[in-house]
Amino acid sequence: MKTYVPKKEDMEKKWWVVNADGKILGRLATEVSVLLRGKNKPEFAPFVDTGDFVIVINAEKIRVTGNKLDQKKYYSHSGYPGGIKEKTLKDLMENKPEDVIRKAVKGMIPKNKLGRAVFKKLKVYRGADHPHHAQTPHEYEF
């Protein structure tokens, strides 16, 4: 008996809509990363992109627990001496709430070529509207 190895061409890609209204950031990010990687499917293989497309709406309505709004910091560096910049979660939520979800999910997927391909299937939007109605996405509840 041979081992079944899934092919990228054989995978059926679904589109899911996840409503982030009232959801906790980390728990939402884990569910989204599982859908993106395809770990919920029986034909999952760690070396093949078996995941689905995920649309996250209402990104500005996520919740965090504890004092994370003031204490959690995001860093970026320009590459020049003294070029480090830091933003708190509160600042990022006011200006770009989509980036908060993107950064949380990106930390949960592999850091390689496959992870970059998986990350491109994530679409995050601030409001309840999204431009992907033609793909007939399904509502995902967790």
**Residue 17, pLDDT above cutoff 90:** yes
C-alpha 29 chain-centroid distance: 6
Residue in 115, 114, 123 with CA at minimum distance from that of residue 53:
123
Q: CB–CB of 16/52 below 8 Å?
A: yes
Distance between CA 51 and CA 37 in Å, rounded? 4
pLDDT in tens, 82-120: 999 999 999 999 999 999 999 999 999 999 999 999 999
**Residue 9, pLDDT above cutoff 90:** no
Residue 3 has a pLDDT of 87
* Bridge partners for 24 per DSSP: 63
Q: Taking the CA of residue 41 as centre, how many other CA atoms within 13 Å lie in the half-sphere pointing to its CB?
A: 19
**Residue 8, pLDDT above cutoff 90:** no
Residue 1 has a pLDDT of 81
Residue 4 has a pLDDT of 86
If you average pLDDT over residues 6-34, what whole number do you get? 94
pLDDT in tens, 33-85: 999 999 999 999 999 999 999 999 999 999 999 999 999 999 999 999 999 99
Structural domains in the chain, CATH included, are 13-64+96-139 (3.90.1180.10)
Predicted structure pTM score: 0.92
Amino acid present at 106: K
Residue 74 has a pLDDT of 96
